[in-house]
């Protein structure tokens, strides 16, 4: 029996009206409704989901992600609180799902990045969030120091809590806009933000030195790959009179129809 068949049987709503999938973060189930509009029916679905998955404490409807701070628009439909702890490959991420976005689709990229870190590196995470990249690097690599910058005060609060939760000592969390704070020279820079990440490239280059590796995340249409990404990097480096070489290009995940979240690793020559 499929997920939709089970759900239809449990809540009494026609199968064709029900969502075909969901996401679980910690013990909170997140679901999108495309065909059901009535709040009562949504709550009936949520109650059915809690019966189907005993380890779930809360069901939330996720409507959209908006703004520069990537704030989710969440409605709690059933259950208890909206704060949870997501465990992912040995890392604990504490967050409030109504205030902080968490993308499971980035797991492979987080793991890939850890394998790239060389012993003794100083790393700048320009968009640290709650520690998506920084925590794993600190725990599983031999990096010397990770400077984790975050401008969202709520995310910064959870970043500090997650550093303590994971018993990590080599992350320096900084509250602020990476375009306005003190400039360091890093061995590696993580630009784990999108869309329109190209507008932050000049600030990443200010933090770079010869040999610095930059992990440039962004979203591009299928017909733009990979020329548009290269043009964005070219334009930023040309203004700073810098040369670079591309090390790797990777499609992280689908972002929207014919739009992809990608990462380009490039090194300042």
Q: 196 lies in a domain?
A: yes
Q: 88 lies in a domain?
A: no
- 52: domain CATH number? 3.30.300.110
Say whether both 125 and 250 belong to one domain: yes
Say whether both 243 and 200 belong to one domain: yes
Sequence-ordered list of residues with C-beta below 8 angstroms from that of 125, at least 6 positions apart, any chain: 133, 134, 137, 146, 147, 148, 149, 190, 192
DSSP state of 210: T
Q: 87 lies in a domain?
A: no
Count up the domains in the chain and report the number.
Answer: 2
Instruction: Using alpha carbons, list the distances in angstroms from residue 145 to 106, 110, 158, 189.
Output: 22, 17, 19, 12
Q: What is the mean pLDDT of residues 116-127?
A: 97
Q: What is the mean pLDDT of residues 9-13?
A: 94
pLDDT at 68 over 70: no
Model confidence at 65, pLDDT cuts 50, 70, 90, reads low
Determine if the peptide bond prior to 27 is cis (ω within 30°): no
Reported pTM: 0.89
Residues in the chain: 269
Q: 98 lies in a domain?
A: no
């Amino acid at each position: 029996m499929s997920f939709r068949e089970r759900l239809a049987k449990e809540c009494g709503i026609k199968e064709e009206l029900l969502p075909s999938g969901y996401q679980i973060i910690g013990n909170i189930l997140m679901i999108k409704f495309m065909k059901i509009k009535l709040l009562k029916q949504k709550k009936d679905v949520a109650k059915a989901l809690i019966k189907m998955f005993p380890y779930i404490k809360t069901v939330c409807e996720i409507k959209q992600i908006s703004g520069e701070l990537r704030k989710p628009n969440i409605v709690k439909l059933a259950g208890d609180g909206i704060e949870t702890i997501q465990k992912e490959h040995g890392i604990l991420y504490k967050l409030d799902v109504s205030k902080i976005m968490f993308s499971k689709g980035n797991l492979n990229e987080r793991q890939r990045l850890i394998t790239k870190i060389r012993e003794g590196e100083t790393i700048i995470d320009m968009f640290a969030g709650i520690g998506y990249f920084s925590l794993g690097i600190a725990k599983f690599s031999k990096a010397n120091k990770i400077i984790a910058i975050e401008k969202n005060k709520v995310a910064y609060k959870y970043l500090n809590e997650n550093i303590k939760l994971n018993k990590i000592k080599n992350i320096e969390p900084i509250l602020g806009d990476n375009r306005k704070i003190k400039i360091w020279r890093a061995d590696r820079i993580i630009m784990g933000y999108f869309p329109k990440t190209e507008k932050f490239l000049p600030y990443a280059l200010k933090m770079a030195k010869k040999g610095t590796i930059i992990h440039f995340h962004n979203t591009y249409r299928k017909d733009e790959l990979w020329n548009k990404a290269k043009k964005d990097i070219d334009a930023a480096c040309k203004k700073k009179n810098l040369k670079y070489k591309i090390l790797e290009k990777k499609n992280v995940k689908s972002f929207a129809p014919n739009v992809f979240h990608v990462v380009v690793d490039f090194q300042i020559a």
